Structure 1
Amino acid sequence: MTILITLGPLLVALFFGYWVNINVFTPTRVAKGLEQLVFVILGLIGLSLGALDDLTSKLLLAGYQALVFFVLISVISLTGLYLSGLRFGGTHADSLGKGPIDSKSHALIDAVKTIGWVIGGVVIGIFTKDWLFGIDELVTGLLYVLLFLIGCQLRQSNYHLRKLFLNAQGLIIALVTIFTTLLAGWIGSLVLGLSWNHGLAVVSGFGWYSLSGILITGLGDPVLGTTAFLLDLSREILALMLIPFLSRLNSHVSVGYCGATAMDFTLPILGKFHGAQIVPVCIASGFIMSILVPILIPLFMGMG
């Protein structure tokens, strides 16, 4: 029953946005609304963090947890993806290069802005914590709006679900990445003394840092939400830097390590090193993981 109460309303919001076409929600308005709403929610998460007692130790705890999960995911996922690439015919990059500088700088600028909103919220929260109330409820309410807009954006992207799920390479990469990431999350929970479901929830963002931390915080655990945020942010930044080298191994390694971001932020760089033929694979793999993030995180958070 707890799982249904947690997951049900979030899925309703997500699929309502995906299936119902409301004319006023144009692609431009949805994209702009998503960007602004994400920053607002991240600022509110910062407020929640700033209002916590013993904030410094909790931030250090979140950073330590993120580091442990990050190392485990990197080792286990890269190993699994390398082996799957050898077994199922992953392609190799033809040559090393620098990749599109604009794509890298855009992603890094977004990361800096995101961190800025969280830090700003933390600072305000520290000085106003005696007057703050209802922040968690507000975050939860905005979370439903966020998932509705994400559903709208998925529909407006004109991705045909059947074609995406039938892309063999993309499906294999997604399945291997999901399995190895969840395995790393389970091992990380043992190392850190967390409950198994929290370990699985914190790694289920698959690099989507602007959603994973929001979801977990909105579901009642701001420290674990901060862990997920730091973990996925680090994963995206490292993926951007390592694509030129990972692509020399095989496409499963480079595409899979990018996680959910393979269909957006890291797509131009992946295309640069693997050629245009990798684009459908990236979109399929990234989409499968993206659509699972708002399902798996509430599912795992509601267990245990």
Structure 2
Amino acid sequence: MNVSGFMFIVVFAASIIIGKLTPVAVSKASDKLVMPIVITLIFTISLWGGGQLTSVSGAGLLITYSLTYALLSVALSYVVGVMMGERRRNGSFRPMSKAPLVFILTLTVGWLLGVVLHVIGVGSIVEAELIALAGIIGLSSSRVMSIKSLIAGGRIGAEAGVSALLGSVIAGSLLSFIFNIRLNTSLAIALGMGWYTFTGPVVALYAGPYYGLLAFLSNFLREQLTFILVPFIPGSPQALISIGGATTMDDTLPVYVSVLGKDYSVASISNGLLLTILVPIIVPLVLTI
């Protein structure tokens, strides 16, 4: 692991501890800083990557690759989950948040400016922003991260997490061969578990802005596919929860509560917490293989 990956883990862990030791108001206040930092990171990495993608064909290929990663990761996670679980309950669907529209706009503007301006030295800025994100996310999530909260989800949350991990590893391995991408880079992209705001910048630092954008879009699309697919496909709770990856503790949680019922909210949160803790460790480690 290089210095950047090590620092992210250290800052992330330290900020969780700090959040536990300080008043709840501190972690709640940090919630307001997450979105500005995330938007800044998305803009910076797209600005960086825009200089690498100067043709329509290049952009089209990137989107194709991203959608393939998202679809295959979701499909294989789902299959493994079906093998582990039981049939789901029926339920209604709640609409998705409008926040992703801001991310799409930011990504588009950053990419277009990158194509025109070809800004240099952006990598060091991404590194600093990523460290700041680690601290803010650690403080923000410190209220809910505990051994008890991880155990509370029980068997279903754990099996969903295992399904997501296995499905993503298989997807990353297959697509490494199909797209002729280095195995460690391909695995890191697939193992982002929908956490695009983390995986994109980290992959960019290790493998370059093109693969950073691929990682961002792949995991962004995985989250969006969760909103689209979960209300309409059959399967076990393990299978459906595994589709959302790390997002099941926050962004996609309303979908699981409405589709599976409140009884499965703990399992969804447990799965999301488990993967949220593992992704910042696994992704940098895989990239150094």
Q: Is 1:145 aligned to residue 132 of structure 2?
A: yes
Q: TM-score, normalised by structure 1?
A: 0.87
Please say which of residues 5-14 and 159-168 is displaced more in the overlay. Answer: 159-168
1:113 corresponds, among 102, 119, 124, to: 102
Cα deviation code 1:18-65 (max 9, x no counterpart)? 112475982333111111001011111121122226454442332232
Q: Is 1:181 aligned to residue 181 of structure 2?
A: no
Deviation, 1:219, is 3.2
Listed as ranges, the gaps of 5+ residues in structure 2 are none
Alpha-carbon RMSD: 2.0
d(CA) in 2 for partners of 1:264 and 1:274?
16
In structure 2, give the amino acid aligned to 1:124.
L
Q: Is 1:218 aligned to residue 205 of structure 2?
A: yes
In structure 1, give the amino acid aligned to 2:47.
L
Indicate conservation of the 8 Å contact 2:196/2:215, yes or no: yes
Question: Matched residue of 1:245: which SS?
Answer: coil
Deviation, 1:113, is 0.6
Deviation, 1:205, is 1.1
d(CA) in 1 for partners of 2:88 and 2:253?
16
1:51-90 alignment, distance < 5 Å: 51-52=51-52, 54-85=54-85, 90=86
1:268 corresponds, among 254, 261, 270, to: 254
Q: Which residue of 2 aligns with 1:230?
A: 217
d(CA) in 2 for partners of 1:212 and 1:296?
11
Listed as ranges, the gaps of 5+ residues in structure 1 are none
Identical pairs, percent: 22
Indicate conservation of the 8 Å contact 2:78/2:163, yes or no: no
d(CA) in 1 for partners of 2:5 and 2:111?
28
Q: Is 1:191 aligned to residue 178 of structure 2?
A: yes
Q: Which residue of 2 aligns with 1:134?
A: 121
Distance 1:47 1:275, change over 3 A: same
Indicate conservation of the 8 Å contact 1:6/1:299, yes or no: no
d(CA) in 2 for partners of 1:75 and 1:230?
17
Q: Which residue of 2 aligns with 1:92?
A: 88
Indicate conservation of the 8 Å contact 2:249/2:272, yes or no: yes
Q: Is 1:295 aligned to residue 259 of structure 2?
A: no
Question: Deviating runs (4+, > 6 A) in structure 1?
Answer: none
Deviation, 1:127, is 2.5
Q: TM-score, normalised by structure 2?
A: 0.91
Deviation, 1:91, is 5.0
In structure 1, give the amino acid aligned to 2:259.
F
